Amino acid sequence: MIINFTKMHGLGNDFIVIDDRAFVLKNPARIAMRLLNRRLGIGADQLLVLSHSASGDFHMRIFNPDGSEVEMCGNGIRCLGKFLWDNILDAGSASNHQPVESLSISTKAGIIGISRAGRQYKVDMGEPIFQPDLIPLKVSSVKKSIKDGIVVNHPLKISGTTFNVTCVSMGNPHAVIFVKDADKIVLSQYGPIIENHTIFPNRTNVEFVEVISSKKIKVRVWERGAGETMACGTGASASAVAAALLDHTGRNVVVELPGGNLAINWSAKDNRVYMKGPAETVFTGTIEL
């Protein structure tokens, strides 16, 4: 079987996008493991599978290189949005003169809203989740670190070093750690250990965050099931929320990632997190499965 694909990236966080509205992919987890391999496949951080939705305009499934399926990806949904506008929506609006400027995308994390903002894309990431059993966390292990229902600065000893972890979910779990110099962290050493720590039943994404100012933070991300990535939308959102929560910054910040910057606003009006950033198409092609 030969299928079409589009290679895309959001700040260097790269994806393979497949339009599967005809439902031809029988085992997307296995396909992801093959296609995402950077030596034996196309190569990318994640596979995005577009399909029909009963609750939104479209549905998105997200698969890691290890075949695991995850709930949400902020950079991925911006790329999916660009794919939809470039290949489906704008082409359709040319005939009926009714351009679509906003979409609802159903995911395992719920319905996510996305709109165009000039050459960038704005995503409603939803409300941050702090309740330990919903992140989820092993509640008995973090009980002493729960303050007003939030796990803040939980001490986690990793390879002889103790990190203070603040936990939040943006539809997927995040362990946010504030450090003096993010560049000095050996992510490949600490990331996988924290990702698979027993206090995280479903594993976790890991962010090491350096506070630059009250309006800017620097973040390096270890993504669950994918390893270090150049950018992570949910990770940037979780880091911005944790920074504001701990009074390191205000609610409106620029998040500097290895691949570039994202604008994050944790709105005081509706408690929702809004992310704005770019998405790019790299190339299109076909591959035999």
Q: Which long-range contacts (CB under 8 A, 24 or more apart) does 68-72 make?
A: 68/29, 68/224, 68/225, 69/28, 69/29, 69/108, 70/46, 70/108, 70/172, 70/224, 70/225, 71/107, 71/108, 71/109, 71/171, 71/172, 72/107, 72/108, 72/109, 72/112, 72/170, 72/171, 72/172, 72/234
Please check the confidence at residue 93 and state whether its pLDDT lies above 90.
no
Read off the amino acid at residue 9: H
Mean pLDDT of 91-118: 83
Judge whether residue 113 has pLDDT over 60. yes
Domains, the chain, in order of start with CATH, read 2-126+278-288 (3.10.310.10), 132-271 (3.10.310.10)
DSSP helix/strand/coil, 144:
helix
User: What is the structure's pLDDT at 118?
Assistant: 86
pLDDT at 107: 96
Per-residue pLDDT, 92: 60
What pLDDT, on a 0 to 100 scale, did the predictor assign at position 117?
Answer: 87
Instruction: Tell me the pLDDT tens digit for each residue of 195-218.
Output: 999 999 999 999 999 999 999 999
pLDDT number for residue 99? 77
Has residue 100 got a pLDDT over 90? Answer: no
Percent of the chain with pLDDT over 70: 98
Catalytic residues: 73, 232
> Number of C-alpha atoms within 13 angstroms, CB side, residue 84?
28
Asked whether the predicted pLDDT for residue 96 surpasses 70, the reply is no
pTM for this entry: 0.91
The pLDDT confidence band at residue 157, using thresholds 50, 70 and 90, is: very high
Which helix (DSSP H) or strand (DSSP E) does residue 139 occupy?
helix 139-142
Q: For 215-252, what is each residue's pLDDT tens digit?
A: 999 999 999 999 999 999 999 999 999 999 999 999 99
pLDDT higher than 80, residue 24:
yes
Write out pLDDT tens, residues 120-133. Answer: 999 999 999 999 99
> What is the pLDDT at residue 214?
97
Quickly state the pLDDT bin for 91 (edges 50, 70, 90). Answer: low
